[in-house]
A and B are shown apart, each in its own frame.
Chain A
Amino acid sequence: MNFTLKVWRQGGPDTAGRFETYQAKDIQGEMSFLEMLDVVNEDLITGGHEPIDFDSDCREGICGMCSLVVNGIPHGGQKGTTVCQLHMRSFEDGQTITIEPWRAKAFPVLKDLVVDRTAFDRVIQSGGYISVNTGGAPDANATPIAKIDADYAFDAATCIGCGACVAACKNSSAMLFVGAKVTHLNVLPQGHPERFTRAVNMVEAMDSEGFGACTVTGACAAVCPKEIPLDVISKLNKDYALGVLKGVGV
């Protein structure tokens, strides 16, 4: 298979970016999107050109590093799939493919397709944890948790923090990410004591990083590779409102 790639190239955070066109030749349908880029990069390197920078790590859809907007859709539009798990057979031979980085004020481009997502780390530091004494591991089943709560928490915990929700949102809102983290901890007994401070502090941190507000368009949940539902945003809104009413924060 052959493709024409229209790739965003940007030298650094403070330089202006532009699109460059490349040819991807002799690509096999079994290759993942990132393997296709590896082939293109090998050609660029042997030709004495600067390769295309992009993030990747596990390449099995669980780490949250890969972050490409393919033809205007974060992770390329295959439902519940990270771009590293997107295979070239899902494209048509000869197709032109546009590849861009996540675009949001809070995710500045570092180089080409690599963006700085440390804003998410700072949001996590503000409340995405539970405060417990260290020591021996507690006995399994010592704390009973209803199946319905365990399932809900686990569904929320599948969030890999890739930031596709921010990239897809017309407001660059991080509500799906923050909602997933708050829900994952707040529905479990271990996270229960700090649930209101967690919601309030994480919303404050999210705002100060420059993410936008949620207008409930549902674009985030549509592109989420882990299919996190909008429910988690509702849960975040509720715990935040109750937290403020209880006088948490300030």
Chain B
Amino acid sequence: MKALMAFFRTSVGKKLLMAVTGFLLYGFVVVHLIGNLQIFTGQESLNHYAHFLKSKPLVLWAFRLGLLAIVVLHIKTAIGLSLENKRARGNDPYDNPSNNGSSFASRSMALSGLVILAFIIFHLLHFTGGVIFPDHYAMKDSEGLHDVFGMVVEGFSIWWVSAFYIISMVLLCLHLSHGLSALFQSVGLRNSKYKPLIDKFALVSWVVIFVGNIAIPISILLGFVDLPK
């Protein structure tokens, strides 16, 4: 047990934690997307899906608390590493530093991460907690179920909610475009032979996540998805 604590203490151990928690969060994003895409199959199917998720409170809360623990570990480790990295760099900057071929995404993981965190908080207050638009959250459908479909349509009909959502998706995908490939390096599975394959996996993943997610607010703003008249 004491030996395993090295994963929380050393730089390489902490990077491994970042990789594992990051991959689990990626898994959540994919599952979340698949669930949400049911908005395109209509009000009834999305509301039934939401009702099904909430019908097992024990499973739901176990899942939510597990997810929260992963998020907290990911962020806490990231803050610790960022501070250590800043300290390692020292106070004397280069006069005209070069990026030495590094990608913008790889250099701005902390920034994209912070915007994603702000978005997650807003998103939870909006759709999960019903704090930001309580009247959207209180909607019921014809069967008397919590009207998730109506809530999403009303929410994304507000232009700035959709705009913030789309901007956040751009940053999420910037984060994923680096993270999904680099995490294989951190667990020691990436090398020059596998890198092209891993990079393709990262590319396909973030493109699908980006297109899938922004399709929802865009379809609502363009009127393709609307409340039944």
Q: Which residues of A contact B (CB under 8 A)?
A: 6, 17, 19, 69, 71-74, 77, 98, 100, 103-106, 168, 170-173, 175, 200, 203-204, 206-207, 210-220, 222-223, 229-231, 233-241, 244-245, 247-250
Contacts and interface: CB of A to CB of B under 8 A. Distances in A.
Interface in B82-129: 84-85, 87-90, 92-103, 106-107, 109
B3 A248 contact: yes
A211 B96 CA distance: 22
Q: Which 10 A-B residue pairs are closest in the complex by CB-CB distance? A: A238-B188, A212-B88, A217-B102, A219-B100, A171-B85, A216-B182, A213-B11, A222-B101, A212-B85, A237-B188
B7 interface: yes
B95 A213 contact: no
Interface of B: 2-7, 10-16, 81, 84-85, 87-90, 92-103, 106-107, 109, 178, 181-182, 184-192
Contact of B12 (A100, A103, A170, A236): A236
A212 B89 contact: yes
B100 A73 contact: yes
B178 A103 contact: no
A203 B10 contact: yes
B123 to A, nearest CB: 26
B182 to A, nearest CB: 4
Contact of B102 (A19, A219, A241): A219
B188 A239 contact: yes
30 contacts: A19-B95, A73-B98, A100-B94, A103-B92, A105-B90, A171-B88, A171-B89, A207-B10, A210-B87, A211-B11, A212-B87, A212-B88, A213-B12, A213-B15, A214-B15, A214-B186, A215-B85, A215-B182, A216-B106, A216-B186, A217-B102, A217-B103, A219-B99, A222-B102, A230-B192, A237-B16, A238-B187, A249-B3, A249-B6, A250-B3
Contacts of A229: 192
Contacts of B101: 218-219, 222
B100 A234 contact: no
A103 B93 contact: yes
A104 B106 contact: no
Given A213-B85, A241-B188, A207 B11 contact: yes
B102 A218 contact: yes
